[in-house]
Amino acid sequence: MQPLKNPFGIIDPDEKPKQYQSNPFDIQNDELNENIKLGDNVENQEDKHLLFDSSKQYPQDIIDDDIPLLEDLDITSPLLIQQRIMSVLFFQKCDSEYLEDPDLSGPTLIVASLGLLPIFTGKIQFNYIYGIGLWGWLLLYLLMNFMIQQQGKQIEFYKILSYLGYGLAPIVLLTILSLFLQLNSSFGYALAIVCAVWSTASVSKTFDTILGLQHRRLLIAYPLFLFYCTFVIITIF
């Protein structure tokens, strides 16, 4: 419906007479103050396109390669995101494709759910998730790169974000559980520790492969454990 042109029905004597609309087939109903466009009244809306001139229907320049938008933007199917989340949750070996080309769509989904799910318990924690994530990301980036004692080898900034983001998947499970259980009990603490260790174990595998510091595996895993413990603490308390 068009917005109302004269809602109070005030008649202006100096008003110019109405002119034709650009499409003479449109009905202008003054009493109801609406403009019924051509095709609105048609019973069978699927055949609406037959009313219009077929030559003007499509745009002048036709796109030859008709790729769906997601593929055009290089965001591959949700199946890939699901695959990567499952590989984190079930300790599967991370594929080399993931190591070379990590994506941020999975972490975005995970972080959004981590922020949205606690709303059902009354906790609005977007700012803390954002803050902890940002500072943890920066500090872990500096720490990991300093611990590589070789010249020339470096982990990139956004890659760390992707690995850390996928590792938050077990904590989303903990958040879902916190909706139904009271986690401030000994069972809750045990569950929280299990989730933190789960996240750490799966992500430290990725970091080990990249950093190549197998003999310092515990030292690499401990900062990651602290990072995930922070999220766990804001979930259970």
Partner 1 sequence: MKPQQDTSSDPFAFAFNPQNIENTVNKAKNTLDNPFIGMAYAGLGKKFSGIGDKYDSFLNSVFSSQYRFYFDVDNMYVVKKSIMTLAPYLYGGNWTLNSEFQAISPTENVHAPDLYLPLMSLVTFVLLRCLSLGINNQTQFSPGYIVDSFWKCFVTSLLEVIIIKIVFCFLDGIRVNTVDLVSHLNYRYCSLCSLMIFNILTNGLFSIYVTIYVLICQGIFVFKTLQRYSPSHNQSALELSSFGYKITLLLALLQPSCSWILLSFGQ
| Type of residue at 123 | K
- Cβ atoms within 10 Å, residue 119: 11
User: Residue 44 or 127: which CB sits closer to partner 1?
Assistant: 127
Report the nearest approach of partner 1 to the CB of residue 22 (Å): 5
Structure tokens belonging to residue 147: 């611990």
Question: Given the complex with partner 1, which of 6 and 184 has the nearer CB atom?
Answer: 184
Q: DSSP letter at 11?
A: -
Element (H, E) at 162: helix 157-167
Contact letters for partner 1, residues 4-43 (x by CB under 8 A): ---------------xx-xx--------------------
Q: The dihedral of CA 170, 190, 201, 232: what is its sign? A: positive
Instruction: Enumerate residues 51-90 that contact partner 1 by CB under 8 A.
Output: 59-61
Smallest separation, CB 8 to partner 1 (Å): 22
| Residue 114 and residue 129 in contact, taking contact as beta carbons nearer than 8 Å | yes
Selection from 174, 229, 165, 175 nearest residue 197 by Cα: 229
Size of the site for partner 1 (CB under 8 A): 35
- Site for partner 1, residues 176 to 205, rule: CB under 8 A: 184
Residue among 5, 49, 93, 216 that touches partner 1 (CB under 8 A):
216
Q: Least distance from C-beta 147 to partner 1, angstroms? A: 5
Binding mask 131-160 for partner 1 (x = CB under 8 A): xx------x---x-xxxxx-xx-x------
Comparing C-alpha atoms, which of 54, 55, 3 is closest to residue 33? Answer: 3
Residue ranges in 90-216 assigned as alpha helix (H) = 96-100, 105-116, 126-147, 157-167, 169-180, 186-211
CB of 35 to partner 1, least distance (A): 10
* Interface positions with partner 1 (CB under 8 A): 19-20, 22-23, 59-61, 125, 128, 131-132, 139, 143, 145-149, 151-152, 154, 184, 215-216, 218-219, 222-223, 226, 229-230, 233-234, 236-237
